[in-house]
Structures are given as structure tokens and as C-alpha cells.
Amino acid sequence: MTRRLEGKVAVVTGSGQGIGRGIALVLAREGAKVITNNRKPGAQKEIVDLHILDDEAKAKHAALSGDAEKTANEIIALGGEAIPFFGNVADFETAGKMIQTAVDRWGRVDILVNNAAGLGAGTLLDTSEEEWDYQTVPKLKGAYNTMKHAIPCMIEQNFGRIINIASDAWTGIPGLAAYSAGNAGLVGVSKAVAKELSKYGITVNTICPQADSPGHVLNFAIAKKKIEAFMGGNPISQEKMKAVEAAHGPAENMAPFLAYLATEEAGSINGAVFSVTGDARVTLYTEPVQASTIKKDEGPWTLEELIETVPRTLLKDYRSIVNHNNWGK
């Protein structure tokens, strides 16, 4: 069987458990040498405790937990090459040392997967400053740090695959204010850097994954309660709940699409955003486009003119997403 990533070197942040672990395993299965990473040895503690979980969910959370060394050992046991690197990639110097570890050991960096993130839930008013920083800084600053250090290597090679892990929350989900902000920022920087680097044979794409992980077990339970509270206590439909659980299958089930984006064959895919689930569904997001325009030829608009003109021209086909999805009720 052809291993499409044979000889490539990958760095996967936040790969001690959950989605990052699944990504690292699949890249290694395809022949890549992998730097695994998380902040420190041992299962990672979330910013909130586990009291919200029932006993079954607590047991599942524990079974899914791990660290970079555990993931690296799994890869080695399967005949691959891996090095664990402990450190917070939100620190610029630490991120540099991680990238340099790959270069020192294997001479190059071909694939960079920015998966490190701080998870959480809460409306903007519910979110403390600490929680805001926890959910935005590791994702945005961490991606900046690793890209800043890895891109010069990729330019020299005239090849690179950067895959930034965001969330469907980038579109804006009530009850996930800070998390939505961090992921929307990651989508924006990914699109900008994709345009900057295309001439060097480097692609930058964004994946919004859904798969089983300790973070999903814990934070979905929290988010569910907060979203239902925001919706006036109405429960999320059983149909929706079943779809969410089906989508959160094993992370190894969604990772092959990410591995595909890392191949030579996927070189024409750049600046895209995909939603990928653990039950083998892959969805391409449309690109943001300007929908309609109004222009006054002489002088600025008056308020009266706008009140008269905007509803019948600029917003003729507009429907508020807030009202359409009943978020305001």
C-alpha cells in the first residue's frame, strides 16, 4: 500500500489526546514522522472541573485523556517515528524550540497542524477575562508562533502544508462567544496567509472537526446547558442531539481528510475552510462574498433616505440569521 506522506515531517500541536491524537496517528500511518505536543505531561486539566458530568461521561472523559508522550509511544509501537514535545505553543520561544526539534532531528518541516486550543463555553456576559484569554490566546497566538517559525523552512523547501484546526463555531454560536471569536480569527488569518504563501508551494487550509475527545465530552455538556438556558430553557431537539453524537465518532475517522490536504495531490486546495466529522462527512464552506451594494452619486446619504432605500434595495433579500434560527427567542 502506498503511504502518501512517506518522508514528510509533521508537527501537530495539541496532539496528546482527542482530535490532535487522531490526526497524529493518521499522519504517521501515512508515513510521516511526527512531533507530538501538549503543554505538560499527564492528562490535561480543563479550566472547569468535571462536576457537570455524570459517572458514564466521567469514565469516557478519562479514557480519552492522554499526553504527547502517550501519542508518540502509540506511533512508535505501530512502527512509526515520533518525538513528544512538551510546552505551551502560545509562548513564542517555546514554539520555536518545537519547530527546531523537528529540523534538528529530521532536517525539515513539511506539515504543520495547529490544533492546540483552550475550550470553554459561555455567553459574552458569562465569560470572565481569564476564560476569554484561555479560549482565544492559545489558538490565535499559538498558530502565529508556530507558523512564524515553520514558514521559513517551508519556503526554503518550496513545499509546505499548514492546516489550522478551527471549529464550526467560527460562524458565531450563542453560548460560545469567546470560542467563536478565537476560531473566526483563525479562519481569517488562514485565508490571509494562504494568499501570502501560495507562490512558495505552501498551502494553508482550515478544518472544523467534530470528533470524540475529552474536550467534547466536557464542553458539550456545558455548552448544551448554556445554549438551552439562552433559548429560554427549551431542550435541544433529540434529532439534533443524535446528529451531534454521530458526528463525534473516533478522531481517526475524520483525520484522513486532513492527511489528504497534506499530500502533493492537494496542492491546488488553498485558503479553504472545511467541516469534517467523525462519521465521514466533509463539507466545504462557501467563500465570504459581498451580496449587494447601494451607492449615492452626490453627497452622503441622509438618514431619511437610508430608512426609505435600504429595506427595498440593499436588504431586499436579507434575512437576519438571528431571527431565522430563533436565537433571539
Catalytic-role residue among 144, 179, 285, 318: 179
Torsion on CA atoms 187, 191, 196, 199, rounded to nearest 10: 130
Of 294, 297, 250, nearest in space to 276 by CA: 250
| Residue 267, CB-side half-sphere exposure with 13 Å CA sphere | 11
H-state helical runs in 30-168: 55-64, 68-77, 92-106, 129-157
d(CA 155, CA 110) in angstroms, rounded, equals 10
Residue 15 phi/psi, 5-degree rounding, is -105, 20
Handedness of CA 21, 273, 96, 142 (dihedral sign): negative
Q: What is the DSSP letter of 167?
A: -
Q: Which helix (H) or strand (E) holds 27?
A: helix 18-29
Q: SS3 for 142?
A: helix
**Residues whose CB is less than 8 angstroms from the CB of residue 100 and which lie 6 or more positions away in sequence, other chains included:** 149
Which cell goes with 81? 517515528
**132 alpha carbon, distance to own chain's centre:** 17
Residue 179 is among the residues annotated as catalytic for this protein: yes
Q: SS3 for 150?
A: helix
Q: Residue with C-alpha cell 465569560?
A: 127
Contact 60, 107 (CB under 8 A): no
- What Å distances lie between residue 214 and 51, 165, 274, 321, CA to CA? 14, 16, 22, 31
Of 14, 327, 6, nearest in space to 164 by CA: 14
Q: Which residues are catalytic?
A: 179
